[in-house]
Chains A and B, each alone.
Chain A
Amino acid sequence: GAVVSQHPSWVICKSGTSVKIECRSLDFQATTMFWYRQFPKKSLMLMATSNEGSKATYEQGVEKDKFLINHASLTLSTLTVTSAHPEDSSFYICSAQGDRAEAFFGQGTRLTVV
């Protein structure tokens, strides 16, 4: 299958700081990337959909000013958690889709805000 690389795999940051997570499609062009959040023992919750060169579409209840998404190229999307708080601690996962129907996921990023 296609390869999607997410970086970093884990990060610890202080409350009030910002953290950037990168999602790269390594061997295909991703016209659309999705960002998910997974709470412990819960399903994947879609946060936003980003299309290359346009503004991200956020799901209801997701603060767009807190979770900044940039999809500047067909192979890279970034999620920046701004002014992070302990309640933002979670597992964040990106997925990318190109011309194939199935989405391919990154390895995920474990964010811990202390």
Chain B
Amino acid sequence: DQQVKQNSPSLSVQEGRISILNCDYTNSMFDYFLWYKKYPAEGPTFLISISSIKDKNEDGRFTVFLNKSAKHLSLHIVPSQPGDSAVYFCAASEGQGAQKLVFGQGTRLTINP
């Protein structure tokens, strides 16, 4: 059972435009959510996170939105840059401590010049 789902395996966006990556989850016990960026043959790099007590968290070009009632979160990147091309994973955990993360399948984002 896939508790965290990223239904779009790939996304192409023009440079300068907004990239929106989506993620859905089924486990209502999840209360902490993270986004990671991954290049081929490298480990994931932490981008941004959000606690369930918030519905938005912003860090520079990256904003994560959380809709608890819909069990949905999204990552907005604006403006998109060529260096943003990578695979993006959303992850969820129960609690913010050293809890195991459950990852989505990933979305490959390609930024076109």
Distance between Cα atoms of A45 and B41 in the complex (Å): 15
Give the docked Cα–Cα distance between A102 and B89 (Å): 14
Provide the bound-state CA to CA distance between A49 and B103, in Å: 15
* A34 touching B100 in the complex, CB below 8 Å, given contacts A43-B89, A43-B105, A101-B32: yes
**What is the size, in residues, of chain B's interface with A at 8 Å between Cβ atoms?**
21
Contact, CB under 8 Å: B98 / A102? no
Most A CB within 10 A of own CB, among B42, B89, B100, B106: B100
With a cutoff of 8 Å between Cβ atoms, the chain A residues found around residue B36 in the complex are: 105
- Given that A4-B43, A6-B43, A108-B43 are known contacts, is A102 also in contact with B100, CB under 8 Å in the complex? no
Within 12-48 of A, Cβ neighbours of B (below 8 Å) are at: 31-32, 34, 42-44, 46
Q: How far is the CB of A110 from chain B (nearest CB, A)?
A: 6
B49 within 8 A of A: yes
In the complex, A105 Cα to B103 Cα: how many Å? Answer: 13
Query: Of A95, A104, A107, which is within 8 A of B42 by CB?
Result: A107
Given that A43-B106, A101-B32 are contacting pairs, would A106 and B101 also be in contact in the complex, using a CB cutoff of 8 Å?
A: no
Contact yes or no, B89 A44, CB < 8 A = yes
CB distance from A52 to the nearest CB of B (A): 11
Interface pairs A-B: 6 shortest CB-CB:
A32-B98, A105-B43, A101-B96, A97-B98, A43-B105, A108-B43
21 A-B pairs (CB sep. < 8 Å):
A1-B45, A1-B46, A9-B41, A32-B98, A34-B100, A43-B89, A43-B103, A43-B104, A43-B106, A46-B102, A93-B43, A94-B43, A95-B44, A95-B101, A97-B98, A101-B32, A103-B34, A103-B46, A103-B101, A107-B43, A108-B42
